[in-house]
Amino acid sequence: MENAYDNALNILKQIRSAGFTAYFAGGAVRDQLLGRTPKDYDIATNALPEQVEALFEKTVAVGKAFGVIMVVQNGIETEVATFREDAGYQDGRRPDSVHFCGAEEDAKRRDFTINGMFCDPLTDEVIDYVEGKADLEKKVIRAIGDPERRFAEDHLRMLRAVRFAHTLGFEIEPSTRAAIQHHAADIAKISIERIEKEFSRTLVESLRPGDALKELVDLGLMEYIIPEVLPMIGQEQPPEYHPEGDVFVHTCLMLNLMEDSNRELAYSVLLHDVGKPDTAFMGEDRLRFHGHETKSAEMSDGILRRLKLPTKEMKQILIAIKGHMRFKDVPKMNKSTLRKLMGAETFDLELELHRVDCEGSHGLLDNYHFLIKKAEEMEHEPVLPEHWISGRDLIGLGVEPGPKIGRLLKLAYDAQLEGQFDSRDDLFNWLKTQL
């Protein structure tokens, strides 16, 4: 099966053979220069959209008015865009109009210098009108031309600047940074779907997501993404449990400690203590946060709905947040409760949240290792075996359908998980005595 590079190269050669100019463009060039394998390859050309369509058997006019045609070959989609200049951005996202031009003008309308280069894959020549190569070497994110204008054109570029900086380990150049701070409020004009996608990628893909979160706060962007995070800054915690500092410091540490991150884990970490500022009070002995896990789950429900995360992911995140305090009690749990905890669909997510919670605070991992050992012990048996007793069994004993059946089924299953009975018959006979 042809890979993305070979597929794009064949498309580029076909455009060239028809007498047009064609280069690889943008992120693919950046990644190749950094020694990274690009996920996809975009092609920029002086061929007009209609000319591109005429060259290939299967195309999709995804943005023909903006010169963008998707060429489909071997089941792979490759974006082919005509060199263009943009005029006016009334909606802070799309140009009001475009006109087709040469490669240099096209490069100068792009977002950041490291994304504004072209490459001729047949000669390996890099065509760089914006000093992107120099900025790659300096490890800086710099807007092309006037940064104020770049961010006024497309407000999402402010979030992209932070993502690129923290996924690549770069710094945002001072004038670009100042322009983001100046335009931060404009991010609220962007659709929540675009904000969520960019913000989630930053949390999941950054080398140190906690540092990215700090930068989003420093730049004034977080206020318009999840403002509920801001009260965590300066919210003190008992030093005997949280020697690292306030709730925000703790959260950033946890984000940096994530391994094999995904969206569910990132949001579970980010929001697990979001309810602490609202529940903080001074007890007789120390600062306390009674019920903060419930409050955090309640607030997170509103936040995640606002961000329009998928329902299944949302449910898993909320379960992890609401249950994160019960991990302190695992050695004292009875077998049935422990098995239910470990047999839950969200157990891996909850366990990883517990690990980073401990490592980002007091550093005690006794309960984490206890659960790892229990998981090893149960490796060759189902953590949650099939129920020995069914609702039909209970109806057969004369129990009327209703809440009582649910209570008896729970009683029977807990006894089964506790290992109180050696067989189904023993459990069934005992259950009769409970009626």
Q: What is the pLDDT of residues 40-78, one digit of tens each?
A: 999 999 999 999 999 999 999 988 888 899 999 988 999
Assess if residue 181 is contained within a domain: no
pLDDT tens, 237-248? 999 989 999 999
pLDDT beyond 90 at 285? no
Residue 288 has pLDDT above 70, yes or no: yes
What is the rounded average pLDDT of the residues 111-121? 97
Q: Which residue has tokens 């991990």?
A: 327
CB within 8 Å of 287: residues ≥ 6 apart: 236, 237, 238, 280, 281
- Residue 315: inside a domain, yes or no? yes
Q: Which residue has the higher pLDDT, 204 or 93?
A: 204
Considering the domain architecture, whether residues 10 and 118 belong to the same structural domain is answered as yes
CATH number, position 33: 3.30.460.10
Q: Are residues 279 and 395 in the same domain?
A: no
Check whether residue 343 and residue 395 sit in a common domain: no
Size of the chain, expressed as the number of residues it contains? 435
Q: What is the pLDDT, as a whole number, of residue 194? A: 95
Same domain, 7 and 121: yes
Q: Do residues 333 and 278 share a domain?
A: yes
**Domain of 399, in residue numbers:** 391-434
pLDDT over threshold 70, residue 90: no
Q: How confident is the model at residue 1 (pLDDT cuts 50, 70, 90)?
A: very low
Q: What is the pLDDT of residue 427?
A: 75
> Do residues 420 and 341 both lie within one domain?
no
Residues 319 and 425 in one domain: no
**Whether residue 396 sits in one domain with residue 371:** no
**Domain final position from 331, 353, 377:** 377
pLDDT in tens, 395-407: 777 777 778 888 8
Contacts by residues 39-43 (CB-CB < 8 Å, ≥ 24 positions apart): 39/4, 40/4, 40/8, 40/78, 40/79, 41/4, 41/5, 41/7, 41/8, 41/78, 42/78, 42/79, 42/80, 42/81, 43/8, 43/11, 43/12, 43/15, 43/78, 43/79, 43/80, 43/81
Give the whole-angstrom CA distance, residue 251 versus residue 210. 7
Number of H helices and E strands in the chain, helices first, is 21, 13
pLDDT digits (tens, 9 = 90+) for 361-398: 999 999 999 999 988 887 776 667 777 788 787 777 77
Residue 91 has pLDDT above 60, yes or no: no
**192, part of any domain:** no
Q: Is 362 found in the same domain as 313?
A: yes
From 132, 149, 175, the end of a domain falls on 132
Q: Does 219 fall in a domain?
A: no
In a domain, 372, yes or no: yes
> Are 282 and 365 in the same domain?
yes
Average pLDDT over residues 292-316: 97
- Residue 312's region, left for phi above 0, alpha for psi from -120 to 50, else beta, is alpha
Cβ atoms of 109 and 146 closer than 8 Å = no
Helix axes 366-377, 347-359, angle to 10 degrees: 150
pLDDT beyond 90 at 108 = yes
Instruction: Give me the number of domains the chain comprises.
Output: 3
In a domain, 138, yes or no: no
* Averaged pLDDT score across all residues of the chain: 91
Q: Could you write out the DSSP letters of every residue in 297-321?
A: HHHHHHHHHHHT--HHHHHHHHHHH
Is the pLDDT assigned to residue 21 strictly greater than 80? yes
